[in-house]
Structure 1
């Protein structure tokens, strides 16, 4: 039988892993969404932005995957149903608007804001160990900069 201390330690570990898994899935979804948007966009500036965002989310997912492995856990391997639904919604919107770059950008922004809010929520409501917190704060900063960079995209 486990002691109260052992149970508490196990619970803390499980919550840490769960929070990281949720951020991992969010990054999988964002990566897939940006790849989809990249394929549909017409503007070179927008394509360049989307390609960079897709890469950054893939890198973030890889970093979180490694963190989960260091905790002796198995990372999830795919995105969420919500992410799949958002990509289907993007297909519908793109079909309706005729591959309008503005619509593509708006849908990407919606997804990016959801990812940003997920990071903010996790960092506010869960006490991550210092090394993990620093990595997640770096991801959050990149997400915030990404939203600011959208304003500089031309030809949309």
Structure 2
């Protein structure tokens, strides 16, 4: 596997994970009654949708092929959120805990790709901008989680 194939594979994985996150955020926005959380979840869903499209464009610009769909793991996580919702009466705290967990994993994945010294400057800038946005979303989720714990 050459470097371009490896990079396209990594970017396709990020696309899938961003679309998983988008769907998860949409689900959380549907479940919460808190207007502040609903706004946060809706905004993050849009960000992840936009991230996915930017990554698609980056793959296409290198001549790579874009994969389609969400991951089985993401689908299972959303199903778990639905089951958890049934038992926890739309527990905003629990949803925020899942957001924090997911965003921490996303930051790790982005940083892993950034550690690859063979990234083209456009790809590196795109990944840096997205990871910074995910880090901000993580900080916001932690703040909201602390607020929910009061």
Work out whether the TM-score is over 0.5: yes
In the alignment, structure 1 residue 117 sits paired with structure 2 residue 108: yes
- Gap runs ≥5 in structure 2: none
| Aligned residue among 11, 29, 34 for 1:20 | 11
Match of 1:34 among 25, 37, 51: 25
Alignment of 1:58-137 (within 5 A): 58-125=49-116, 127-137=118-128
Determine if contact 1:94/1:103 at 8 Å carries over to the other structure. no
Q: Distance in 2 between matches of 1:132 and 1:110?
A: 25
- Structure 1 partner of 2:134: 143
Superimposed CA distance per residue, residues 53-74 of structure 1 (whole angstroms, 9 cap, x where no aligned partner): 1011011001001011112222
Partner of 1:153: 144
User: What secondary structure is seen at the aligned counterpart in 2 of 1:153?
Assistant: helix
RMSD: 1.7
**Which deviates the most, 107-116 or 137-146?**
107-116
Question: Following the alignment from structure 1 to structure 2, what is the Cα–Cα distance between the partners of residues 72 and 22?
Answer: 17
Please say if residues 37 and 108 of structure 1, whose CA atoms lie closer than 8 Å, have aligned partners that are also in contact: no
Q: How far, CA to CA, are the matches of 2:136 and 2:130 in structure 1? A: 10
Distance 2:3 2:115 in 1: 16
Other structure's SS at 1:99 match:
coil
Structure 2 distance, partners of 1:53, 1:117, is 18
